[in-house]
Amino acid sequence: MHIKENNPPRTFTVGTGDLKFEMADCAAIRLDNDEQVTFVTDDGAEYDVARKDWGFYATPSLNGRLSGFGLRGVLIRNRKTGRYFVLLVRGGHEAAFEQYCAQETLAVVAWLDSTDALDRLAAAVGATEALSPLPNTN
C-alpha cells in the first residue's frame, strides 16, 4: 500500500444552488492486489475497500458486515444529472440523509441493506442465477 497525503488538502466546492460546501481531498491511497483499507468513524463503524486483480470490492457485504457496523447501502440517482451513486448511510441518520437528498436533488432507487431488499432487486432485473441456490456437491 502506498499513501500520498495532500498536505495541505486540496479543497473544492461541491453542492447545488445556494447549498454549496467545501470538500477536502486529504490523500490518495494505492493498493496492491489483495490489500484492503478500512475507514473507521468516531463511533466505530467500519467501511472496507479491497483491491483484487480484476478491480475492487467497493464495500463490505451489503447485507452482512456493512449493516453489522450500522451502515446502510443505498442506490441513488441525481435527478439533475442522471448519474447514479451508491451511498452509505449511518443508521439513525436517515432524516439527515433525506434532507441531503432533497437539497442535492437525489432520489432513492433502492435500499441495499437487507437480503430481502437485495433479492427483490435481483428478481426485478432478472438476475435469476443470483437467486438460485448452489447445487449440493456432497
| Residue 17 pLDDT | 66
Is 136 a residue whose pLDDT tops 70?
yes
Return the C-alpha cell found at 41: 468513524
Q: What is the pTM of this model?
A: 0.84
Q: Closest by alpha carbon to 32, among 16, 50, 17?
A: 50
The arithmetic mean of pLDDT across residues 120-134, rounded, is 86
For 7-47, how does the pLDDT look when each residue is reduced to its tens digit (9 = 90+)? 999 999 987 767 788 999 999 999 999 999 999 988 888 89
| Residue 19 pLDDT | 77
For 48-89, how does the pLDDT look when each residue is reduced to its tens digit (9 = 90+)? 999 999 999 999 999 999 988 889 999 999 999 999 999 999
Which are the contacts of 45, defined by CB distance < 8 A and separation ≥ 6? 69, 70, 71, 90
